[in-house]
Structures are given as C-alpha cells and as structure tokens.
Amino acid sequence: MDTFYFGRLNYKSEYSIYDLLMYGNRFRIKDKSTQYGIFNVEVIDDKDFGVIFTGELVKYQDIKEEPVVKEDKLSTEYIKDVIQGKARFFLMNETHLIAYNPYGKIISQKMFCEAFSGVIIGADDSFEVDSIIYPINMEYKFLEYLEKMQTLNKLTLSLTPSNPDSRDLWKEIDDDLNEMNAKSYKEEIIANDNQSLNLDEERINKIHMAEDGYGRATGEGKDEDGNDVKISTNEEETIIRKKIKKDLTAREQFFGLKKVFQSVIDRIRN
C-alpha cells in the first residue's frame, strides 16, 4: 500500500503554480551530492475539484560509483544523475491542497515538504516568491494531546494568512493578518514558574488554523506520566493520511484520494 499525506501549499508568486512546476528548477541541500526536481507533470480535469496537477518529486545523485566487469576485468564506472527515489503528488489548483506519497527514509514526509517548496521558490526569478507546505492534521488531535498534559509550559504559534479560503473558527484572525499585509505571524507564550498555561478561545482558534494547514503549533511541558515532552502539529501521527493500493495509474490514485480531499474542504467551509 502507498500512504499519502495531506497538506496545504502556501505560496505567493506572480507566476501560476503550473508555470512553477514546469520550469525545471532543481533544489539542492547545502553540502549534499543529491538534488531534487519535479518531473512527469500532468493535468487532471476533475468535475468536482477542477484542475489537479500530478507529478513526481525525484531525488537523484549527481554521480554514483558502480563496480562493473569490463573486458573481463573488474572496473569502475561513474554514472550521472542516478535516481534514488520518487514521490507522487496531487496538487489542487484552486485550494492548494496537496497529497503526497513519501519514499521511505529516502524522501521522508518532512523532506518532501522542504524539497518541493525549494523547487517552487527557485523557479520564480522575481525573488518575491514564498512557498511552504504545512501538514493538515486530524481535527482536534493536537488539542487532545494538550488536554492530556499535566502542565503546558510553553506554546508557540506560527501562522500564515490563508489563500484562498478561511474558516469561521479563525476567520477574524485571518482577516486581521491580511489587513496588516502580514506575510507570517508568530506568538510565543511561556507560563509562570510552577504553573500551567490556560488557553483562551483566541489561542484555541489559532491552533485550529494551524491544524487546517495554515501554520504550525508547538507545545512544551509534561505529559500525563510526568515526562518532559514537546508536541507539534508537524508530528507524522497527527497528519491526515490515506493508504491506497500500489500499481495504480495516477488517475486511479487520485480517485482513491478524493473522499479525503472533500472532507478537508468541507471542514474548512463549515
């Protein structure tokens, strides 16, 4: 089975997302001999969701040394651009929701988000582009973890204004950020010594905004057993995901993901 994780691509650019995907940019992590690119981009026209972009984020090695037999002797050949792994994705043009299938440890869930955003940013030559993928969490999961904690010593909220949709729970927060022309927002709250934070409605709604794919929430304190813990909406176990069969065509894979996409859209609109 292939496991697809769900998130939201938050990006701002004067170019269309299709142009950025097709540009052919590569992303390289500093001091690494591997790079990432987006390949095999296709457009799916869906009657319910409109335009969907699908393709593969590919990780490949610059040069790989391989032992070979050449003219009945052991030898070595150096092969360029050897593929190490491929991760399929589906990206909605209208809502910017994305589902992606990490490739084990080679392209992890977190690495996919970093590399995909890196490719998008590098494809925009205006230097005014911004791109980040935030995961979409199972609703209330992060809050459930917080409620079980003995003490909450620190809460950190990092948010980005919505594009294009907002939700009633956090619409006022989102409107304020957009009115201020804010690119991002960060808030850090630390409890008094030997006390636990009491979260008000505004902070809870900001957590909902992060869970919906518009930021990140992190809590630090002691769990129900008294252990020091740090929890985050970035943790894999809280991210919405769906398992589908292997060896399906891209369109068949998308059909298997449609119900999850719809449930996320319905959640934002309610």
User: Do 121 and 15 share a structural domain?
Assistant: yes
Indicate whether 127 and 104 sit together in one domain: yes
Domain of 257 in residue numbering reads as 2-135+240-269
Helix (H) / strand (E) containing 264: helix 250-269
pTM for the full model?
0.81
Rounded to 5 degrees, what are φ and ψ at 247?
60, 30
Q: Do 98 and 176 lie in a common domain?
A: no
* 130 and 245 fall within a common domain: yes
| Alpha-carbon gap, residue 58 to 15, rounded angstroms | 22
| One domain for residues 145 and 211 | yes
Round to whole Å and give the CA distance between 223 and 118. 35
- Tell me, yes or no, whether 7 and 116 share the same domain: yes
Q: Are residues 66 and 122 in the same domain?
A: yes
Q: What is residue 27's predicted lDDT score, i.e. its pLDDT?
A: 84
Print pLDDT tens along the chain (270 aa).
Answer: 889 999 998 887 778 889 888 888 888 887 678 889 999 999 999 999 999 999 999 998 887 878 878 877 887 888 888 899 999 999 999 889 999 999 988 999 889 999 998 888 887 776 666 778 888 888 778 888 888 889 999 999 999 988 766 788 888 999 999 889 888 899 999 999 989 999 999 999 999 999 888 899 999 998 888 888 888 888 777 788 899 988 889 999 999 999 999 988 888 776
Q: Are residues 126 and 252 in the same domain?
A: yes
Question: What residues contact 8, with CB distance under 8 A and at least 6 apart?
Answer: 95, 96, 97, 98, 133, 134, 136, 212, 213, 214
Distance of alpha carbon 115 from alpha carbon 128, whole angstroms = 18
Q: Are residues 157 and 178 in the same domain?
A: yes
Specify whether 128 is located in the same domain as 165: no
Both 31 and 127 in one domain: the answer is yes
Same structural domain for residues 165 and 95?
no
Please give the tally of structural domains in the chain. 2
Give the pLDDT of residue 227: 86
